[in-house]
Amino acid sequence: MTEQSVTVIRLALVDEQTLFREGLRALVEQEPDFTVVGQASSVQALESLDVEPHVVVTDLASADASFEQVIEQLRSRFREVAIVALTAFEDLQTIRNVLAAGADGYVLKSAGVTDLFAGIRAVARGGLYLQSSIGIAFASKPAEDVVHPSIGGLTPKETDVLRLLALGHTNAEIAQLVGASLRTIETHRAHIHQKLDRHTRAELVRYSLDAGLLRLDEQGDHAPVTAAVVVVVGESDPIDR
């Protein structure tokens, strides 16, 4: 689904708490580009409704299924839907698992409505979204220690640049971070696009997660989530220069 093809974003809300759903519906329907076409206490209940949402906002909670199974059920029933996880789970391993399972966005219930609205609009455009207090961090080891040279045919330096691009940095920021010239970074970026045949940041984020080049910073379950990185990308958006 592209931004051009959607004027009003059709939403489905899934949460076991009726009062929460009703309050959320009242909030989102104040936005002129949102309309709620269905709400339910579970994915199973949503599946029984005759609705075709663009975006499902769900807490992913289920007594009978894991987060991964809930996402799989949504994908099976609603082929083109984008999924925003709106949950109270702050531990970064859970967030990583939810993203790896195919969620398009992740927002905490403690967040403000601005984060949620931004997430809905981003995933409706075909992008990925993490609220600003959730960061994607580097693996603890240098790229050349964790990436096999044959992955994508990238050199260690290109792998470093790939990971920084996937994290949302511009070429100029990457040049400063790695201590190289802007021209060198542009050359690395061109090689990455050519070797991987991926040309948008959304594609690079997906590739990096799938290849294990990125992970959410693994801290304890009760560690504060303090990084300030937002990933908001559309499938057709080029990488920023």
The one-digit pLDDT tens for each residue of the chain (241 residues) are: 444 445 899 999 999 999 999 999 999 999 999 999 999 999 889 988 999 999 999 998 776 778 888 898 898 888 889 999 999 887 777 777 888 788 888 898 988 898 899 999 989 988 888 876 665 433 333 443 444 344 678 887 888 888 888 777 788 888 887 788 888 899 989 989 888 888 877 778 778 877 777 654 433 333 332 233 344 444 444 445 4
Which pLDDT does position 20 carry in this prediction? 93
pLDDT of res. 134: 66
pLDDT value of position 82: 93
* Residue type for position 165: L
Distances in Å between the alpha carbon of 24 and those of 62, 125, 131, 229?
A: 19, 21, 17, 25
Closest C-alpha to 24, from 66, 91, 86, 97: 86
- pLDDT attached to residue 4: 42
Question: Per the structure block, which two tokens stand in for 42?
Answer: 């579970």
Give the side-chain half-sphere CA count within 13 A for 88.
Answer: 5
What pLDDT sits at residue 230?
40
Write out pLDDT tens, residues 117-160. 999 998 998 888 887 666 543 333 344 344 434 467 888 788 88
> Phi/psi class of residue 153: alpha, beta or left (left: φ > 0; alpha: ψ in -120 to 50)?
left
Domains and CATH numbers, the chain: 3-130 (3.40.50.2300), 137-215 (3.40.50.2300)
Q: Encode pLDDT of 170-183 as tens digits.
A: 888 888 877 888 88
